[in-house]
Amino acid sequence: MNILRALRAIFSDRLAMIERLGREIPRIGRVDYGRVSMVLVNSPELIPEVLIERADDFVKGPVLRVISRPVFGDGLLTSEGELHRQRRRLVAPALAHQRMARYADVMREHTSALADSWRGGETFDIVETMMRLTLGIVCRTLFDVDIPNEAEAIGKDITLAQTWAMRQIRVPFLRLPMGKSRAALARLNETVYGFIRERRSRGGDTGDLLSMLLLARDEDTGQHLDDLAVRDEAMTLFLAGHETTAVATAWSWYLLARHPWYFDRLRAEGLPFALQILKESMRLFPPAYVIARSVLRDTEIGGFPVRKDELVIVAQWLLHRDARFFPDPLRFDPDRFLPEREALIPRNAYIPFGGGRRICIGNHFALTEGQIILNTIARRFTMELVSQRPPEFQPLITLRPKDGIRVRLQAVGQP
Ligand code: HEM
């Protein structure tokens, strides 16, 4: 439990705390919380030691390993060792670069349908709206199901299931009852098991992720994955596959609304500029803002000794906003990601998708999807912020804006 106590200190006001540490620790250093200590790795050249060279000395941090367990089970995000290696090999083809052209059609269709339903002058919460959109896309691409009627209820259940995890993070030494989150999780399970049942009864291979999971056999035993294993992978991709991209696109709309002249450039330049916006938005507001690891055995990082059971933190929130790597770091400047300028960014100073063998398996998917969403919508609408007050952060597992972001639509070409 002690390591969780350290987390409580970090997570009660996470961003302020992380920033304070960043000022005190420019390269690598330790902070002690009673018997537990945390090592911040705040220099890009050390990051490969954690994520690649000494990856065997670390496992995922306690938030993913312990607190997220009821939701993700032994899925890709949370499993370790040989199990992780096997599952990663199994899932990777469904998210490989070559698959994206096929998924892109679905992404365009869903985004266009959403834009068809909009009228100039309307106001709504763009975070919520992006969640529904990316949820629909992930269901169609990975599970070959459409969920237009359930999307709202599923979205609510996902938020409810997370509220337990959020409360639990704040009081790690108590075991909180799951309350309403339990029922929400049960309904989410029922949804995912429903996908599995439906596919088993339909039979055959539709070529999507669910087919791949159901048809896969263990290399040694020749056994199929059981329903629980399929459920864990499916739930992981179902959740990890939409919330992060929704958050990234929502922050992109926020930044565009604050710098509206970029809407014209986006319309003129299309997908390449959409990618620049998305990348710059993930620099300023990285949806995954820290990577945490627990230390499995005594080791070192850049000559700095690190002890078993310590917590190691790499913070995108610090690296991406560090003036050593990004001049005038708080300025929104999508041209930092012009290909020739992007090539000059120091290696590992920009790591929205992590790195090494646990690098985000959905990174091509997310970049393709984010670009298409920005490009498709910006052709038809611009957005302005309903309130000029900057949104507060809600740094949970992803960096969400606390009360959403309300925007007002303007149809392109209309006053
Ligand atoms: C902008 C969107 C996204 C961001 C910023 C993001 C970020 C990340 C990061 C930083 C990690 C590594 C975490 C760690 O090392 O502790 C990760 C892992 C993962 N992501 Fe993403 N992700 C995004 C989209 C997606 C999508 C679209 C999917 C699936 C379709 C996905 C599925 C996963 C999975 C399964 C893992 C675990 C991989 C493993 O450990 O082998 N992510 N993501």
Distance CA 133, CA 272 (A): 21
Ligand 1 lined by 107 (C-beta under 6 Å): no
What is residue 302's three-state secondary structure?
coil
For 277-290, write each residue's pLDDT tens digit: 999 999 999 999 99
Distance (Å) from CA 117 to ligand 1 centroid: 30
- The minimum-distance atom of ligand 1 relative to the CA of 87 is 41
Distance CA 300, CA 49 (A): 9
Provide, rounded to the nearest whole percent, the portion of the chain with pLDDT above 90. 59
**What does the CA dihedral 170, 172, 177, 180 come to, rounded to 10 degrees?**
30
Distances (CA, A) of 221 to 211, 216, 218, 298: 19, 11, 5, 35
Distance (Å) from CA 179 to ligand 1 centroid: 28
CATH number of the domain at 87, please.
1.10.630.10
Ligand 1 lined by 30 (C-beta under 6 Å): no
Distance CA 82, CA 269 (A): 45
- The minimum-distance atom of ligand 1 relative to the CA of 359 is 12
Q: Assign 413 a pLDDT band (cuts: 50, 70, 90).
A: confident
Distance (Å) from CA 120 to ligand 1 centroid: 34
For 54-102, write each residue's pLDDT tens digit: 999 999 987 777 777 778 888 999 899 999 998 899 888 889 888 899 8
Q: What is the pLDDT, as a whole number, of residue 272?
A: 98
Q: What is the pLDDT, as a whole number, of residue 199?
A: 87
Ligand 1 lined by 245 (C-beta under 6 Å): yes
Helix (H) or strand (E) holding 407: strand 406-411
Best of 313, 319, 360, 373 for a ligand 1 pocket test (most atoms within 8 Å of beta carbon)? 360
- Ligand 1 atom 20: residue of nearest CA: 360
What is residue 17's three-state secondary structure?
helix
Structure tokens at 358: 């646990």
User: Which residues contact residue 415 at a Cβ distance below 8 angstroms, ignoring those fewer than 6 apart?
Assistant: none
Ligand 1 lined by 77 (C-beta under 6 Å): yes
Q: What is the pLDDT, as a whole number, of residue 156?
A: 83
Better-scored residue on pLDDT, 6 or 339: 339
Ligand 1 lined by 76 (C-beta under 6 Å): yes
For 180-237, write each residue's pLDDT tens digit: 888 988 999 999 999 898 888 887 777 788 888 888 877 777 788 888 999 999 999 9
Question: How many CA atoms does the CB half-sphere of 232 hold within 13 Å?
Answer: 19
Q: What is the pLDDT, as a whole number, of residue 6?
A: 60
Q: How many domains does the chain have?
A: 1
Distance CA 165, CA 185 (A): 11
With tokens 């290399």, the residue in question is: 219
Q: In terms of Cα–Cα distance, which of 62, 69, 135, 140 is closest to 104?
A: 140
Across the strands, what pairs with 150?
none
Edge-to-edge, what's the strand order for the sheet holding 381-385? Answer: 123-125, 406-411, 381-385
- SS3 string of 130-198? HHHHHHHHHHHHHHCCCCCCCHHHHHHHHHHHHHHHHHHHHCCCCCCCCCHHHHHHHHHHHHHHHHHHH
Can you give the residue range of the structural domain that contains 333?
A: 2-411
Question: How many CA atoms does the CB half-sphere of 261 hold within 13 Å?
Answer: 3
- The minimum-distance atom of ligand 1 relative to the CA of 355 is 15
Average pLDDT in the chain: 89
Q: What is the pLDDT, as a whole number, of residue 232?
A: 93
Question: What Rg value do the Cα atoms of the chain yield, rounded?
Answer: 21
Category of 121 on φ-ψ map: left (φ > 0), alpha (ψ -120 to 50) or beta: left
Distance (Å) from CA 233 to ligand 1 centroid: 13
**What does the CA dihedral 178, 181, 183, 184 come to, rounded to 10 degrees?**
-160
Measure CA 357 to chain center.
16
Distance (Å) from CA 360 to ligand 1 centroid: 3
- The minimum-distance atom of ligand 1 relative to the CA of 278 is 1
Ligand 1 lined by 18 (C-beta under 6 Å): no
Distance (Å) from CA 240 to ligand 1 centroid: 6
What is residue 285's three-state secondary structure?
coil
Q: Assign 171 a pLDDT band (cuts: 50, 70, 90).
A: low
Provide, rounded to the nearest whole percent, the portion of the chain with pLDDT above 70. 94
Q: What is the pLDDT, as a whole number, of residue 202?
A: 83
Distance CA 120, CA 94 (A): 37
Q: In terms of Cα–Cα distance, which of 339, 11, 311 is closest to 166?
A: 11
Distance CA 390, CA 378 (A): 22
* Residue 1 reports pLDDT greater than 60: no
Ligand 1 lined by 61 (C-beta under 6 Å): no
Distance (Å) from CA 359 to ligand 1 centroid: 7
- Ligand 1 atom 1: residue of nearest CA: 245
- Ligand 1 atom 19: residue of nearest CA: 360
- The minimum-distance atom of ligand 1 relative to the CA of 351 is 10
Q: Assign 3 a pLDDT band (cuts: 50, 70, 90).
A: low
Pairing of strands 304-306, 311-314: unpaired
